[in-house]
Amino acid sequence: MSTEKIKVLIVDDSALVRQTLTEVLSSDPEIEIIGTAGDPFVAAERIAEQLPDVITLDIEMPRMDGLTFLQKIMAQHPIPVVICSSLAEEGAQSTLKALEYGAVEIVTKPRLGSKQFLEESQVTLCQAVKGAAAARVRPHAVHTVEPKLTADSVLSRATGAMIATTEKIVAIGASTGGTEALRVLLEALPPDAPGMVIVQHMPEMFTRAFAKRLDSLCEISVKEAEPNDTVLRGRALIAPGNHHMLLKRSGARYYVDIKEGPLVCRHRPSVDVLFRSAARYAGQNAVGVIMTGMGDDGANGLLEMKEAGAVTIAQDEETCVVFGMPHEAIKRDAAEHVLPLPSIARAILAHAN
């Protein structure tokens, strides 16, 4: 077993942030800080001296902004990049652009606060760096999608009797690489697609901007979930950052509950929390989809969905940025179907129709 550490370069114009990130990441025995830089020009010199496995990068910096530097990195020598951003909604759109340009993860800069916050920041940052180190970095990876689908045009291949007393619900979980994978999936869906509830590991504020971006691109409606939002056909609800989202049911109506609480599987929101609630309240009326991401969040929850009668799908290794979460689900026999990303939309409609 290899004991080689993940070599990290920290790029941020704040000396305090560089020091804090160094302390937080160095606390993990699997991570080694090989250098820091106050701007992209110094960072380029550090990279020439020693190639890092992962770069943590700020967006707002002097002399050259982080987005421009990221584009140069991805064009010249792709290296996994984790965007380390301030918790500010106004900067969320720029940060989301970084994901389009090839960054693999967004994390919030650690700040002074309660012991719990600092401990959670350590878990989140170290997990993000490990996920980035495992990522397949492809310059502007392009996934072709099938033509726009209509629910009526897709026949269910389900065998045996199925009691369908309510609308079908689709529960989706994703992490590293999931922002672009979700875009590909949701853009392929028709306006009458089944209602969806989605957990994408992402910090607070950024989920709202992410939902707005998807809403502008997709035929379905996409919004950041709020307490008591109804799950409707033609709409996707994305769990707000830093909060768990649960599916609930009242009569024939499905809705979501937004909760605080501890990290589950090192995350908040957690895919396991969503999937377990879907197993309990939707059962065979649900379709579960686990997509690209580091770790095992969602694997046990997907198994619970399968055992409750739901159809379960995992993204295949070839189209994943990180084949962690789907791999864990497959190992636990939680996924009935293993599919490439461009095929998942059609499969959802086939099983939900």
Calculate Rg over the CA atoms of the chain: 20
φ/ψ region of 159 (left if φ > 0, alpha if ψ in -120 to 50, else beta) reads beta
Residue 199 carries which side chain, given as an amino acid letter? V
Cα-Cα-Cα-Cα dihedral sign, residues 99, 338, 271, 17: negative
Q: Do residues 67 and 99 lie in contact, with contact meaning Cβ atoms separated by under 8 Å?
A: no
Q: Which two tokens stand for residue 312?
A: 């379960």
Q: For residue 94, give every residue at least 6 positions away whose Cβ sits within 8 Å of its Cβ, in sequence order, or none.
A: 59, 67
pLDDT (0 to 100) of residue 151: 40
Q: Which residues are catalytic?
A: 175, 201, 297
Phi, psi of 45 (to 5 degrees): -65, -40
Tokens found for residue 284: 């065979």
Any idea what the Cα angle at residue 254 is, between residues 345 and 256, rounded to 5°?
A: 90
Q: Which fold has domain 151-352?
A: Rossmann fold (3.40.50)
* pLDDT for residue 114: 55
**Six-digit token pair at 184?**
């590909």
Helix axes 341-352, 178-187, angle to 10 degrees: 50
CATH superfamily, with its number, for domain 6-134: Response regulator (3.40.50.2300)
3-state class (DSSP) for residue 170: strand
The confidence score (pLDDT) of residue 163 equals 38
Alpha-carbon distance values, 58 to 74, 109, 144 (Å): 16, 9, 31
pLDDT, position 36: 96
Per-residue pLDDT of the chain (353 residues; tens, 9 = 90+): 457 999 999 999 999 989 989 999 999 999 999 999 999 999 999 999 999 999 999 988 888 888 899 999 998 889 999 998 875 555 677 888 888 889 999 888 876 665 666 677 888 899 999 999 999 887 654 444 455 554 443 333 333 333 344 689 999 999 999 999 999 999 999 999 999 999 999 988 899 999 999 999 999 999 999 999 999 999 999 999 999 999 999 988 999 999 999 999 999 999 999 999 999 999 999 999 999 999 999 999 999 999 999 999 999 999 999 999 999 999 999 999 999 999 999 999 999 87
In the chain, what are the domain boundaries?
Answer: 6-134, 151-352
